[in-house]
Amino acid sequence: MNNKAKQPRELNIELLRIVLMILIVCHHFLMRGRGLHLLYTSGSTHINNDALQGLFMDSFLIMTVNCFVFISGYYGIKLRVKTILSLLIQAITYSIGIDIVFCLFTGEQMTMDSVWNGLLSVPNGQWWFITAYFFLYLLSPFLNLAKQYLTKFQFLYILGVLTLINFIIGFTLDPSPLGVLNGYSLLSFICVYFYGQAFSTYISFNKGKLFWLCSYVICSLLIFTMFDAGLKYSTVDMAWKAFSYNNPLIMVSAVSFFFFFKNLRISYAKISFFSSSVLAIYLIHEHPRSADFLTDHLNSFATTYKIGNVYFTFLLIAVMLFVAGTMVEKIRTAVTEPCLDYLVRKFNLGRLDSEMIKK
């Protein structure tokens, strides 16, 4: 396997993961807090200047999910049984825990359905990203074999087929048998994962930070231009496809954003304290109850107490949410990880890791 995949992640990539999660939170703030999601679900052709301003901002944020998965492919996921169990426990804890918190504040009764849904939160898709990423993680040992054992031609052939399915046919036609779902799917994640592997091994662009930053900005502007043009000269559905995760422009934007950070030099080691909590932030703010709460109250709060403008206020709230969520995650980890460590030792689950990498 390529040596680059064996190296520990650099601090600049850890910073990138933090930035991406804050931008994901901002994206959801725009969609729900500003009600932009209602424009999509209603198929409305009437989009006022305020909504257009929000969508312009979102064109710079929409690449975040692809960038996350690209990072995983670039460095290669190393499957560990403990990590699988840890992710499941993390999701179950936040699913049930957040339900309990809302029940305490609203006076509702906690039901067995809520507990059952919490226990099945990963396989039943309570968080679409977590479900797709979890099964990508399970498949990763076999996906990694492609780079390890296939020739360059064979690898690029598979990448070409996945590109055809996800970014060409899946984007322009989106036939249901392919299961692309506008990029909200495991298949799309596998495609992006392969792109990460390809750039770590076969594709090399020796460009500086300015090149990648300009590429990111230009792609983001083109995404918004694509939406605006689609709205004026085509159908509403075609316009909204500009914000689909399998839009090729979004993939280029994600790759550019990654390499901009890849070219940075960061030495602040405490970044790792926060970067280990990024998935927890996603679980907390995208829980159905949290999402509904943000939809109902966020915009009025940010408008009433705005600092500068509402978008800067959203950013500040996202940063505060990240910091607070990190503290919650550290407490959760302190409680659950010793139990998980005990189970791994008790049942010698670590042996499965070595079985997975046997040749």
Tell me the three-class secondary structure of the chain, residue by residue.
CCHHHHCCCCHHHHHHHHHHHHHHHHHHHHHHHCCHHHHHHHCCCCCCHHHHHHHHHHCCCCCHHHHHHHHHHHHCCCCCHHHHHHHHHHHHHHHHHHHHHHHHHHCCCCCHHHHHHHHCCCCCCCCHHHHHHHHHHHHHHHHHHHHHHCCHHHHHHHHHHHHHHHHHHHHHCCCHHHCCHHHCCHHHHHHHHHHHHHHHHCCCCCCCHHHHHHHHHHHHHHHHHHHHHHHHHCCHHHHHHHHCCCCHHHHHHHHHHHHHHHCCCCCCCCHHHHHCCHHHHHHHHCCHHHHHHHHHHHHHHHHHCCCCCHHHHHHHHHHHHHHHHHHHHHHHHHHHHHHHHHHHHHCCCCHHHHHHCCC
**AA letter at 58:** D
At residue 355 the predicted structure's pLDDT band, cuts being 50, 70 and 90, is: confident
At residue 7 the predicted structure's pLDDT band, cuts being 50, 70 and 90, is: very low
Residue 172, pLDDT above cutoff 60: yes
Residue 174, pLDDT above cutoff 80: yes
At residue 164 the predicted structure's pLDDT band, cuts being 50, 70 and 90, is: very high
Mean pLDDT (whole number) for 334-348: 92
At residue 45 the predicted structure's pLDDT band, cuts being 50, 70 and 90, is: low
Determine what percent of the chain is predicted with pLDDT higher than 90: 74
Mean pLDDT (whole number) for 238-250: 95
Residue 8, pLDDT above cutoff 90: no
Mean pLDDT (whole number) for 89-114: 94
Q: State pLDDT tens for residues 108-133.
A: 889 899 999 999 999 999 999 999 99
Of 20 and 351, which is predicted with more confidence?
Answer: 20
Q: State pLDDT tens for residues 128-152.
A: 999 999 999 999 999 999 998 999 9
What are the residue ranges spanned by the domains of the chain?
3-356
At residue 83 the predicted structure's pLDDT band, cuts being 50, 70 and 90, is: very high
Tokens of 263: 């070219």
Sign of CA dihedral 255, 260, 265, 267: negative
Quote the CA–CA distance of 192 and 132 in Å, as a whole number. 12
At residue 39 the predicted structure's pLDDT band, cuts being 50, 70 and 90, is: confident
Residue 3, pLDDT above cutoff 60: no
CB of 318 within 8 A of CB of 26?
yes
Question: Across the chain, what does the average pLDDT equal?
Answer: 91
Quote the CA–CA distance of 224 and 229 in Å, as a whole number. 9
pLDDT score, position 349: 86
Q: Give the CA distances from residue 145 to residues 35, 150, 151, 203, in Å, rounded to whole numbers and listed in that order.
A: 43, 8, 11, 18
At residue 359 the predicted structure's pLDDT band, cuts being 50, 70 and 90, is: low
How many CA atoms does the CB half-sphere of 125 hold within 13 Å? Answer: 5
pLDDT score, position 5: 40
**Torsion, Cα of 298, 304, 305, 308 (10° steps):** 100
First to last CA, the chain: 13
At residue 315 the predicted structure's pLDDT band, cuts being 50, 70 and 90, is: very high
Lowest mean pLDDT among 15-29, 51-65, 291-305: 291-305
Quote the CA–CA distance of 26 and 158 in Å, as a whole number. 34
Residue 49, pLDDT above cutoff 90: no
At residue 9 the predicted structure's pLDDT band, cuts being 50, 70 and 90, is: low
Q: State pLDDT tens for residues 223-233.
A: 999 999 998 88
**AA letter at 245:** Y
pLDDT score, position 6: 41
pLDDT score, position 234: 85
